[in-house]
Structure 1
Amino acid sequence: MSFLKKLSPFYNLTLFYVTVSFILRIILLFHPITQASFSWLDSIKIFSFGLVSDVFVFILASGFLWLYLIFISNAKYLKPYGYILFGLFIVLFLYILSGKSILNEYGGALPKIGLIFVGIKTLLFGLLLFLPKHRNKIRYWLFTFVLFLFVVFILQNAISEYFFWNEFGVKYNFIAVNYLVYTNEVIGNIMESYPVIPLFSGLFLIAGIVTYFIVGRSKNYIDNIPTFVEKIKISGLYFILFGFSLFAIPSLATNENSQNIFANELQANGVYKFYLAFMNSELDYFKFYKTLPEKEAYTLLSQQIPGISNESTLRNIKSAAAEMHKNVVLITIESYSADFMKMYGNDKNITPFLDSLASQSLLFTNFYASGNRTVRGLEAVTLCLPPTAGESVVKRKDNKDKFTTGSVFKQKGYNVKYLYGGDSFFDNMEDFFSGNSYDIVDKKTFQSEEITFSNVWGVCDEDMYNKAIKVMNAEAKENKPFFNHIMTVSNHRPFTYPNNKIDIPGDAKSRDGGVKYTDFAMKNFFAKASKQPWFANTVFVILADHCASSAGKTELPLDKYRIPAMVYSPGFIKPQQYNKLMSQIDIMPTVFGLLNFNYESKFYGEDVLKPDYKPRALIATYQDLGLIKDNVLTIISPKQSYKQYQLTLLPKPGVGDNFQIYYDEKPLREDRMDLVNETISFYQTASDMLKKKKYQKN
């Protein structure tokens, strides 16, 4: 048998993928949404460059196929190696089953997925080991199943690309990535919008027929398993093509440069576009959302934010009183919903310390998170900027040298630090904060004796707070004020923490336990901090990064964005409640106001204690951008669409008027175009400021 035939699984699947992609391009070319005419040059580029790009993309995608095929052999089942390998599989399976594996540290569905995968692998290896007479037949069906999965993926991707084009007129972008984030909501929408059963029945039927023919042309690989030398040759050839593909694919993408946008999209490979969307994390506001003339958008914004002029948010903030350069400690608590607290109606007593602290603080009772991910919360309190479409600025490439709360403190002579109990490499935090002149204290800076407990997310909150006190004691000796932003980690799945701290065991993996331990750790922190010489001259700002969950019956369920927020500084901040509607982006400008800071601001966030503040809140997912104002929720979405809902309070018995969080959201009978335009003005100008680099610190 020739060496070429040993490559049959690869080239047969590649041929099928290229054929499907070619047919898809023709279908999309004549789709009603493709409202453009194409020159001969455009047509040639669409199909020629597109075909070559498809080949290289599939070479990368077939890495899993190479990995599967290269390990097919009979030698590994010989004594004693087969029994040793089988024993190792059993040990690995039992390790995961024990519930003490690294997978359990993360929690969620990962341990089950790992257990199922290793269990199936162990079972199949055992069958092939102990049933040598049936080995060829078992291997044949496994080989068929693997090729079937590739065929299903190819067909499923083509169908997905078609429906995505049908809705947006483009190949994959960040909205497609967003669909993966909100899997439950998207699956529900698909189930309601399309004939799912006939669609998938047809998909699997076609995939089965195609697989039958591909297996018939490729099974010579398992009928005559390549020798070790032949596998070396196959791997060498594959690595060469793989490496060349890594350079060729981006190079081909640079040729998507036609003035005809549809031509560029048709030429592009959808899988590569998905990868780019995932890595770049941006969604072009001006391409997908309703817009206003630029001057009109900024004029409307100037009516919402006092003091700005021209096409910028730059304005002078002046105070009549003398500046106070007190230390500021900002604590953002992981996944902490308002309804965890007693005042918002929780009767489980899982936040006793924070409940007590709230009564001694300036408490913001009507406070909304910008988003539902940690990076959105970090973005909101650091940049004080509306949550623009796509991923948070924290995770974008252009995330450095921005105008931040840290840069304002730096101007005032403060030491500025970001403290995180985990590895700040996660979620691009290290890149973002170091790129904006924050010094970073994270798990890498801890000595072994400073860690009493850790899980996959990092050290427990007690360890983080103890480290923070050491850092602040050292800073206090420098005779400079400090601003320290602390991000907690303990209230996160798998909700593990040290035992014997609270009445819920640390290994119970309970969300209530995570919340209560977070509260316990904070109590210890304040007990220790109150004994330090810098405490009396420090302002503590405590709020959540986002709520514990985001799922709801509407695109933006208000109760899933309501978070606790307070400013605590005994002897300086008088205990009181502020009940007006406000946003997470307003907390730090308000703190600057309390300190009487004079500075040039680019923030969209405002000092809510000023008499000219107009109550509103900005909340969003990755693509639905909302404004709460005048008891109306306005949402702008891709495809230049918008929705508006009348908000009607749903009172919860026994809860004070200022702590009610549940609203009925019913479609507005008559559009409030003034609010639609205000919503557009916030998000369009924020996108414009970032795009044109007008939100830099200088």
Structure 2
Amino acid sequence: MSKLSLKTGRYALPVHFIIWFLILSQVLRIIFFIWQYDEVSWNIIDILRTLLTGLFFDAGTIVFISLPGLIYYTLIPEKWVGSILDKIIVIFFTSLNIFILVFTFFAELTFWDEFKTRFNFIAVDYLIYTHEVVANIQQSYPLPILISGVLIISLFFLFIFHKRDAFSQTFNSPADLRIKFAVLGICVSLALFFGSFIFNYQAEWSSNRYNSEISKSGIYSFFAAFRNNQMKYPDFYTSIDNDTAFRIVKNKLKDPSTTFTTTGYSIHRSIKDSQSALDRKNVVFILIESFSGSFLKEFGNKENITPFMDSLAQKSIFFNDMYATGTRTVRGMEAVTLCIPPTPGQSIVKRPENQNLYTVSNVFKSKAYDSNFFYGGDGYFDNMNSYFGGNGFTIYDRGRGSVLSDKIKTVRHNITDKEVTFENAWGICDEDIFNKMLTVADKQFKEGKPFFNFVMTTSNHRPFTYPSGKIDIPSGTSREGAVKYTDYALKQLFTKARTKPWFKNTVFVVIADHCASSAGKDEIDVANYHIPAFIVNMPSQYNQKITKQCSQIDLWPTLFSLFQWHYESGFFGKDVLDAEFEQRAFLGTYRKLVLMKKEKVMILSDQKKQAFYNWNKADNSLTPVPMDKSFLEETIAWYQTADYLFTHKLLK
């Protein structure tokens, strides 16, 4: 290549920059191929299509990146070409762009390691919450070495540009005005073409999800996600008329204990148990970060990293076949507070107009419970404080301040430094947040208040650090260590709680927010939505293993039924213990919406597409099957009505 000359005069540097970017992008693509060698399709046609599709999207990416520079090259007067000012501007911004892009390529590798996907809406969220993300990067990776490596690599590429006379040509070769505007015109035309007619989903050509993801350009994907973070259901998904949709859903929700209290587009109903309600029990609800069912020995794990939870499974109401609704914490929070299928785009937790919704806290408030939300980090992250504070919870977190905003008057308590023994990028360790909850519970008990305490854990998250000396796996070395520490901290919570006077009258509910990983070669990796859930400390006669397939949204309706409560409901979830419960689960990403019934899986995608599969649990594979119209219509009905109720402010 050293003998290959690119005599492009004033545009030598942009041409070298563009070719460099396209080559490096393909190298990254090949790295991903090798990384997922056992799951990508190695069919020669698929390989070529992956690389060529990727090249096409890389071309669109570099057009947008190059456009500001080409505008400068066009507008600078000829007499200034090669001047000190010209050299400073060109060298500085070329170097900066190369540094940023090299850093971005490294970031893509770490993002792929975590999520097995190119940049998406998660990356967009991470851009917003820079404190947590930067701290996480600092604690997870040797940042000085990484930055030094990026700098050295960037200087190496600049040296190559210099050796190939790209700089000298650029500063010593004035361009004809017609050539300037022709080059700029071509670049602007391509930018308009890509911006108006090329969409990121068009890279998803393969039934193998990995081939489709590798076909994308990470930067292009990032800005596509930024543009489409909220998606209106009727615009992107197959719809039916609302009368039919609500009729189908109401028919699925009806049972002998349910009376619908409104007509029209609503699922609000009164649920009354035939028996007398149990005495009011305190509820401690623990949402565990990134806790896959596959971590438990109960589900075949051989590493013995969850001994306490495995013991709980034998003496609790244990949900053997429950599935998370999504792949992020905010999805889990949405599911367990609103009991609603996932709506497309952002979780409701992060959307505007998400205050004063009818959540499970309203049910507890109607029974005179004191509701609290405990989070070991700053609840500003992922809009948690705004959501929980705006929906009836008192906040306990590591942020500062007493009230959230003028509109949200809920009190916010700071967890003080003296209450913390260990803290990382995401917050205080699980033992510390549990201890804080125990302190508040003691106070609530003394004041005679039944309590509903919602605890969100953080320890089972990269950088996987936790207090030393607690378990036999060194802190910060692996996900397995974080899992085992979370299990250990949960055991400590129960050990301490058993000494409390309120323990006998307290039910503990433990569930994962989502799995540790959700990506696979198929459209939806079903096994990576399977989560554990426990209801602990009910009278022993209630203990059982529930083997029915169900969803996170069914957890609270099931518990309220166990409590034999009469309550108002706007929930899509149902009592799993009801003899007439129809087994099904709702799964989703921010773009794909899924209804699963036993082994049948219907997937709704944006661009109004649908796919129907048979799921083989043994090897976690999806096999296409002929479309079932009634199954499709029911799937549409669930998601269309959920989206309609939120967007029309009918969940208030």
- TM normalised by structure 1 equals 0.65
> Could you give the per-residue CA deviations for residues 191-215 of structure 1, whole angstroms, max 9, x where no partner exists?
66x9x9xxx9xxxxxxxxxxxxxxx
Relative to 1, partners in 2 of residues 1:105 and 1:571: Cα closer, same or farther, differing over 3 Å? farther
For residue 665 of structure 1, the aligned residue among 605, 622, 636 is 622
2:649 is matched with which residue? 693
> Which moved further from structure 2: 547-556 or 152-161?
152-161
The question of whether the paired residues in 1 share the 8 Å contact of 2:136 and 2:462 is answered with: no
Distance 2:419 2:357 in 1: 33
1:116 is matched with which residue? 149
Relative to 1, partners in 2 of residues 1:425 and 1:605: Cα closer, same or farther, differing over 3 Å? same
Distance 1:528 1:626 in 2: 40
For residue 481 of structure 1, the aligned residue among 450, 454, 462 is 450
Relative to 1, partners in 2 of residues 1:346 and 1:62: Cα closer, same or farther, differing over 3 Å? farther
> Could you give the per-residue CA deviations for residues 273-324 of structure 1, whole angstroms, max 9, x where no partner exists?
968746xx32111111111111111111122111445321111110122243
Paired AA for residue 386 in structure 1: P
Q: How far did 1:571 drift?
A: 3.3
Relative to 1, partners in 2 of residues 1:513 and 1:302: Cα closer, same or farther, differing over 3 Å? same
2:433 is matched with which residue? 464
The question of whether the paired residues in 2 share the 8 Å contact of 1:322 and 1:596 is answered with: yes
1:504 is matched with which residue? 473
Distance 2:591 2:140 in 1: 28
1:491 aligns with 2:460: yes
Distance 2:438 2:235 in 1: 48
1:658 is matched with which residue? none
Secondary structure of 1:564's counterpart equals: strand
2:632 is matched with which residue? 676
Relative to 1, partners in 2 of residues 1:640 and 1:575: Cα closer, same or farther, differing over 3 Å? same
1:580 is matched with which residue? 548
> Could you give the per-residue CA deviations for residues 471-502 of structure 1, whole angstroms, max 9, x where no partner exists?
11111112111101111100001101111111
Distance 1:151 1:359 in 2: 70
Q: How far did 1:406 drift?
A: 1.1
1:243 is matched with which residue? none
The question of whether the paired residues in 2 share the 8 Å contact of 1:567 and 1:573 is answered with: no
1:425 aligns with 2:380: yes
The question of whether the paired residues in 1 share the 8 Å contact of 2:136 and 2:463 is answered with: no
> Could you give the per-residue CA deviations for residues 88-130 of structure 1, whole angstroms, max 9, x where no partner exists?
xxxxxxxxxxxxx946445269777534345467889999xxx
2:361 is matched with which residue? 406
Distance 1:459 1:315 in 2: 40
Distance 1:275 1:647 in 2: 29
Distance 2:225 2:609 in 1: 26
Q: How far did 1:387 drift?
A: 0.1
Secondary structure of 2:212's counterpart equals: helix
> Which moved further from structure 2: 151-160 or 368-377?
151-160
> Could you give the per-residue CA deviations for residues 128-169 of structure 1, whole angstroms, max 9, x where no partner exists?
xxx9xx9x969969xxxxxxxx9999788556435535xxxx
The question of whether the paired residues in 2 share the 8 Å contact of 1:401 and 1:436 is answered with: yes
Relative to 1, partners in 2 of residues 1:417 and 1:103: Cα closer, same or farther, differing over 3 Å? closer
Q: How far did 1:391 drift?
A: 1.0
Secondary structure of 2:531's counterpart equals: coil
1:363 is matched with which residue? 318
Q: How far did 1:72 drift?
A: 8.5
1:302 is matched with which residue? 250
Secondary structure of 1:366's counterpart equals: strand
Paired AA for residue 486 in structure 1: V
2:290 is matched with which residue? 335
Distance 2:135 2:586 in 1: 38
- Count of aligned pairs between the two proteins: 503
Pairs within 5 Å for 1:240-389? 277=227, 281-306=229-254, 307=258, 308=260, 310-319=264-273, 320-389=275-344
The question of whether the paired residues in 1 share the 8 Å contact of 2:551 and 2:585 is answered with: yes
Q: How far did 1:575 drift?
A: 2.2
Give unmatched runs, 5+ long, in structure 1.
Answer: 1-7, 13-54, 64-68, 75-100, 142-149, 166-171, 201-269, 651-661
Distance 1:62 1:528 in 2: 66
> Could you give the per-residue CA deviations for residues 19-64 of structure 1, whole angstroms, max 9, x where no partner exists?
xxxxxxxxxxxxxxxxxxxxxxxxxxxxxxxxxxxx9xx99x999x
1:25 is matched with which residue? none
Paired AA for residue 610 in structure 2: Y
Give aligned-pair identity as a percent.
Answer: 38
Structural RMSD (CA): 4.1
> Could you give the per-residue CA deviations for residues 615-654 of structure 1, whole angstroms, max 9, x where no partner exists?
111101111110011421011112222111113341xxxx
Distance 1:619 1:632 in 2: 13
Distance 2:532 2:475 in 1: 24
1:557 is matched with which residue? 525
The question of whether the paired residues in 2 share the 8 Å contact of 1:380 and 1:584 is answered with: yes
Distance 1:538 1:152 in 2: 69
Pairs within 5 Å for 1:63-74? none
Secondary structure of 2:530's counterpart equals: coil
The question of whether the paired residues in 2 share the 8 Å contact of 1:403 and 1:602 is answered with: yes
Distance 1:329 1:591 in 2: 12
- TM normalised by structure 2 equals 0.69
Paired AA for residue 313 in structure 1: I
Distance 2:316 2:620 in 1: 27
For residue 546 of structure 1, the aligned residue among 514, 533, 542 is 514
For residue 523 of structure 1, the aligned residue among 484, 491, 498 is 491
Relative to 1, partners in 2 of residues 1:290 and 1:481: Cα closer, same or farther, differing over 3 Å? same
Pairs within 5 Å for 1:91-240? 102=135, 104-107=137-140, 114-119=147-152, 158=192, 160-164=194-198, 188-189=211-212
Q: How far did 1:607 drift?
A: 1.3
Distance 1:373 1:684 in 2: 21
> Could you give the per-residue CA deviations for residues 658-695 of structure 1, whole angstroms, max 9, x where no partner exists?
xxxx5432111x32111111101100111111111111
Distance 1:316 1:430 in 2: 29
Secondary structure of 1:563's counterpart equals: strand
